[in-house]
Amino acid sequence: MNNQRKVPMRKCIATQEMKPKKELVRVVRSKEGEVSIDLTGKKSGRGAYLNRTKEAILLAKKKNILASHLEVAVDDHIYDELLALVEGETKAN
């Protein structure tokens, strides 16, 4: 039998694109209301996925999409960390 695993797909909240989970970055809100970047994809809490592009992150910041999806205020340092993560990946490639 062919044992091909199903690739988990998630939707970017900014661009509405469906992509494999590994190609997106997860931002999670804990029960205490703390917002953090979840690189493992395993932290507990309400999660939101964003494309690993500068445009998607800036769009989410401009339209306040992340804050409305996570139902909590999102600090600018979260967006700064996301942008640094994306720019670091771009330079590595």
Query: Tokens representing 44?
Result: 């507990």
Q: Please name each of the domains of the chain with its CATH number.
A: 9-92 (3.30.1230.10)
| Helix, strand, coil % in the chain, rounded to nearest 5 | 40, 25, 40
Alpha-carbon radius of gyration of the chain:
14
Contact 53, 21 (CB under 8 A): no
Residues 6+ apart with CB under 8 A from 3: none
Q: What is the amino acid identity at position 67? A: A
pTM check: above 0.85: yes
pLDDT digits (tens, 9 = 90+) for 43-77: 999 999 999 999 999 999 999 999 999 999 999 99
Say what the pLDDT of residue 88 is: 86
